[in-house]
Amino acid sequence: MVLIGGAAGLLPALAALAVGVGVAGLGAGAFLIRAALDIHHADGTFVACRGAGFVGLAALATGVTATVPWWASRQTVGWLTAGLAVVAGCLVVGVSLLPGAVRTWQVRLRRAFDGVGLGVSLGFAAYLVPGAATRPSAVPAMLIAAGGAAIVTVIVLRARPRPNPALWCGGGAALVLLALCGLTELVAFDVTGPAVPLIGLPMVAGLTACATGGSRRDLPLPPLEPRYPDQYLASYPLLAVPAAVGVVAALWHLVTVRDFSTQAVIFGLVMVSVLAVRELLVVHDIRRYAGRLRVAEAHFRSLVAGATDLTLVLDEQLTIRWQSPAAARLFGLRDEEVIGRGFRDLIHPDDAGPAQAVIESVLAGEHEGGPPVLVSARLRDGAKLWRDTESTISDQRSVPEVAALVVHVRDVGERVHLERTLHRLSHLDQLTGLANRPALMRDLLDRRRRAGQRGTLLVIDLHGLAEINDNRGREIGDAVLVEVSRRIRGLLGAEDVPARLGGDEFAVLTADSAVPAYALATRIVTTLGEPYALPGATLDLHTSVGLAELSGGADSEEVLRHADLARQRARQLGLDRVEWYDPDVEIQLHRRMELERQLLGAAGRGELDLVFQPVTGLRDNRPVGVEALLRWRHPELGTILPAELLPIAASLGITAQLDEWVLDEACRHLTTWSFSDEGFWLSVNVGPRELLTARFPEQVAQTLNRHGLAPERLVVEVAETWIAADVPAIVAALTGLRKLGVRAALDDFGSGQTSLSHLRRLPVDMLKLSASLLSNPSEAVVGGGPAVLDVVVSLGRRLGLEIVAKGLETAEQIERAAAAGCRYGQGHALGYPAPAERMEAYLESHRS
């Protein structure tokens, strides 16, 4: 309750964490230590009571460590790391001494080393998480927690048997260590608020689990040690798991970040060193097992010799002189059917030639002193069927007791069938039945090697599949993927290769040239965009397709990269698009990624700026307002305009912050200009997400109050292109602004699909007409009716709206707008966008 109260803000967060976890740690520690004393006095199991005692000390140390952020004003991360180290040490020792774990220190150390390897790999993976390396002080805690949790996990999971109390204690110990690491990370990253007391909840849960499992005495007796206790030390899964974790983390970091810091390289070397030592230990164990196996082999050789193989003895003319008794059982061959016949008579005619060549080389003595020679051939069995076999031929002519060739024949039909099946499956996607990435790259390489072969590679990305998996389950998502593959197959020719690259990415390798390939990509976009009728739902997907010619890349990987870059460019430009690769695409992508990386800190570096464009009365040529326009003054790339800047901000999710900054800066500039005119207004553009948030009217009011600006002097511009998507929500948002006294304008009217009837519902005060309405000739349309511009202006004036004609570039456009009844105008013919200082001078000169 204390921790929940701290998270809810009823109590100070640090105090709530200290009290909640401290009391839980004190209670769990006292309970476990008391249980350890009871166990010792009851039956004298010294090891068991020491295990419970160390776990109790760890609980006490956890409670003390949780109080560090409350009383430590300096070096808090260092104190937390030290406390975490004490807790980890006590838990590792305690869990290893609990009943059901291990008996010898040799095995304990080996399992601890296994845990260290896993912990170093997990720590390496966590270190590669973006942002972790920016707080070096938190790295030791991360390593200690990962190592401690990994050691505890290995000890518990490899116990034989594995009692439930041990699982409780081990799970609680891992949870406590991870929660303490999380607390250290929060402190290192200066995270405050509800997250601090909430991190105490898993600590309390872990302490409870430790107390529940570590105090139990009603456990089964441990089994006798196995005859070869170190056989459990040579388990490869414990080597494969940390290696896989480290490799996957490094590959992911290489793909996403494409750079390794010095610390990351050193960290990776440490991980590799630990895993290498672990592998050496495993090799040592395997060698010990091999020695034992050699002894066992000598005991059982007479029993198993020839039991699973057919053994034949051939003379120099390759006539069969003897066969083992297993012949009838394994191949259905009776002695009278085989003995006295030539070995070549049993071999399939297609395999007889290669087999004869190998046998003749053996007879010629070319393999003398070497291992037996292997011959793969099909042999006829007693039922006259051909079987896949492997035969080893050993030249025993120098042995007087044998003086012949000894052939051991093994039926490998099942293995060959399995290999063929695996080979086929290894080149197929198991879900869709399409070719997988290796198969696609093989076909792509093969097609590029053909002289004069034309072709195109298409990379297809599905959009919306992740939401289907999250909302409707992976079964529905898999059904959609199967349907997608079916639709793609239906569009391709016999020589085209469809493939699934993984996840929601597909590819098509086609022999078509540029124009047919583009037409195919367009058909794919159209077909995949059709609704998917599934049980209980009808779903929609969008696609992005990138194309690259096979001749445009140095190798197959580069062709795939080109197509993928084109696919990324298509996604940036919108949904359901097809884009070709060219060098400009790569340049644009690199520019986009660089701008995405730098935009987050642009405001803090002072690179964002505002320019103002005047809005002028068309009758008296006097400015009546200005529109604030955002600019990014990039130090290397120059000025970035909103057309490029705003889509990047939307993809990063910072449009609201930019709109807030523009509103505040524009109001500040307006209040600092020297002239005073209560009728002069300022307009700012607002994005849809910001406008539809509940706090936007409150934010606008706070900004106006902070700068002492009258509400009616502010005009919020809403783009007409997205109004029709949710008219009721827009009406509600604009109504809230009108209650404050802030005016609203419908920007670029005439560029979208908004119905004229919507103007009656929208609480706007101003229409800013799109420049496209002024680009047509001024005369009436065919049939003698009025021009569109005249209709729009007439309707707007009847609704009491102020009309602003945008994009006025020539005197003729100004005259046309004035003749149509537009009261105000905006464009380069009336005034260019200018910084605040130049705009102030412009306004002074034009309003005097």
* pLDDT tens readout for residues 650-695: 777 788 888 888 889 889 988 888 766 778 899 998 877 777 777 8
pLDDT at 228: 43
Percent of the chain with pLDDT over 70: 80
Residue 588 belongs to some domain of the structure: no
How do residues 774-824 score in pLDDT, each as one tens digit? 776 544 444 434 577 888 888 888 888 889 999 898 888 888 888 888 999
Residue 293 vs residues 229, 235, 302: alpha-carbon distances, Å:
16, 17, 15
The answer to whether residue 754 scores a pLDDT higher than 60 is no
Answer with the one of 217, 252, 279 that is the final residue of a domain.
217
Residue 461 belongs to some domain of the structure: yes
pLDDT at 224: 43
- Is residue 770 within 8 Å of 753, Cβ to Cβ? no
The answer to whether residue 836 scores a pLDDT higher than 60 is yes
Tokens 């010294």 appear where? 46
Of residues 652 and 326, more confidently modeled: 652
Confidence of residue 261 (pLDDT cuts 50, 70, 90): low
Instruction: Quote the domain boundaries for residue 544.
Output: 430-581
pLDDT at 136: 60
pLDDT at 614: 92
- Is residue 343 within 8 Å of 316, Cβ to Cβ? no
pLDDT at 785: 41
Are 139 and 167 found together in one domain?
Answer: yes
Are 671 and 809 found together in one domain?
Answer: yes
Q: Which of 210-219, 333-342, 815-824 has the weakest average pLDDT?
A: 210-219
Is residue 99 left, alpha or beta, with left meaning phi > 0 and alpha meaning psi from -120 to 50?
beta
- Is residue 497 within 8 Å of 443, Cβ to Cβ? yes
Are 370 and 475 found together in one domain?
Answer: no
Confidence of residue 267 (pLDDT cuts 50, 70, 90): low
Q: Which of 2-6, 182-186, 218-222 has the weakest average pLDDT?
A: 218-222
Are 80 and 109 found together in one domain?
Answer: yes
Of residues 160 and 828, more confidently modeled: 828
Residue 261 belongs to some domain of the structure: no
Range with the largest mean pLDDT of 98-112, 271-285, 302-316, 560-574: 560-574
Are 820 and 685 found together in one domain?
Answer: yes
pLDDT at 684: 92
> Considering the chain, what is the average pLDDT of its residues?
78
- Is residue 145 within 8 Å of 122, Cβ to Cβ? no
Residue 592 belongs to some domain of the structure: no
Answer with the one of 217, 242, 257 that is the final residue of a domain.
217
pLDDT at 305: 46
Question: CATH number of the domain that 347 lies in?
Answer: 3.30.450.20
Is residue 534 left, alpha or beta, with left meaning phi > 0 and alpha meaning psi from -120 to 50?
beta
How do residues 690-724 score in pLDDT, each as one tens digit? 777 778 888 889 999 998 888 999 999 888 766 65
pLDDT at 527: 93
The answer to whether residue 543 scores a pLDDT higher than 50 is yes
pLDDT at 296: 62
pLDDT at 777: 53
Residue 147 belongs to some domain of the structure: yes
If one counts the domains in the chain, the total is 4
Percent of the chain with pLDDT over 90: 9
Tokens 């999971």 appear where? 157
Q: Which of 44-58, 405-419, 716-730 has the weakest average pLDDT?
A: 44-58
Query: Strands 577-580 and 542-549: what pairing?
Result: parallel
Of residues 398 and 360, more confidently modeled: 360
The answer to whether residue 751 scores a pLDDT higher than 70 is no
Confidence of residue 546 (pLDDT cuts 50, 70, 90): very high
The answer to whether residue 523 scores a pLDDT higher than 80 is yes
The residues near 11 (Cβ < 8 Å, ≥ 6 apart) are: 2, 5, 197
Peptide linkage before 161 cis (omega within 30 of 0):
yes
Are 490 and 616 found together in one domain?
Answer: no
Q: What sign results for the dihedral spanned by CA atoms 372, 373, 378, 384?
A: negative
pLDDT at 231: 44
Of residues 114 and 305, more confidently modeled: 114
User: Which residues share a beta bridge with 718?
Assistant: 746
pLDDT at 524: 93
Are 151 and 49 found together in one domain?
Answer: yes
Are 174 and 118 found together in one domain?
Answer: yes
pLDDT at 49: 64
Burial letters for 13-27: b for 16+ Cβ neighbours within 10 Å, e otherwise? bbbbbbbbbbebbbb
**What is the rounded distance in angstroms from the CA atom of residue 676 to the CA atom of residue 648?**
37
Confidence of residue 509 (pLDDT cuts 50, 70, 90): very high
Answer with the one of 217, 242, 266 that is the final residue of a domain.
217
**What is the rounded distance in angstroms from the CA atom of residue 600 to the CA atom of residue 597?**
7
Are 486 and 612 found together in one domain?
Answer: no
For range 213-226, the mean pLDDT: 53
Of residues 501 and 36, more confidently modeled: 501
Q: Which of 68-72, 340-344, 820-824 has the weakest average pLDDT?
A: 68-72
**What is the rounded distance in angstroms from the CA atom of residue 717 to the CA atom of residue 275?**
61
Are 63 and 197 found together in one domain?
Answer: yes
Tokens 């065919």 appear where? 782
Residue 30 belongs to some domain of the structure: yes
pLDDT at 616: 92
Are 94 and 29 found together in one domain?
Answer: yes
Q: Which of 41-50, 395-404, 477-486 has the weakest average pLDDT?
A: 41-50
Residue 146 belongs to some domain of the structure: yes
Q: What does the chain come to in residues?
A: 848
The answer to whether residue 225 scores a pLDDT higher than 80 is no
Range with the largest mean pLDDT of 31-45, 248-262, 757-771, 800-814: 800-814
**What is the rounded distance in angstroms from the CA atom of residue 740 to the CA atom of residue 735?**
9
pTM: 0.43
pLDDT at 24: 83
Which DSSP state fits 232?
G
Residue 162 belongs to some domain of the structure: yes
- Is residue 382 within 8 Å of 327, Cβ to Cβ? no
Q: Which of 91-105, 571-585, 683-697, 709-723 has the weakest average pLDDT?
A: 91-105
pLDDT at 362: 78
pLDDT at 269: 73
- Is residue 591 within 8 Å of 816, Cβ to Cβ? no
For range 616-625, the mean pLDDT: 88
Longest CA–CA span in the chain (Å) reads: 126
Which DSSP state fits 627?
E
457 three-class SS: strand
pLDDT at 783: 41
Range with the largest mean pLDDT of 177-186, 193-202, 824-833: 824-833
The answer to whether residue 241 scores a pLDDT higher than 70 is no
For range 133-139, the mean pLDDT: 58
The answer to whether residue 100 scores a pLDDT higher than 50 is yes
Confidence of residue 101 (pLDDT cuts 50, 70, 90): low
Give phi and psi for 835, each to the nearest 5.
-60, 170
Of residues 783 and 14, more confidently modeled: 14
The answer to whether residue 132 scores a pLDDT higher than 60 is no
Query: Residue 310 belongs to what H/E stretch?
Result: strand 310-314
Are 706 and 823 found together in one domain?
Answer: yes
pLDDT at 798: 85
Of residues 119 and 140, more confidently modeled: 140
The answer to whether residue 522 scores a pLDDT higher than 80 is yes
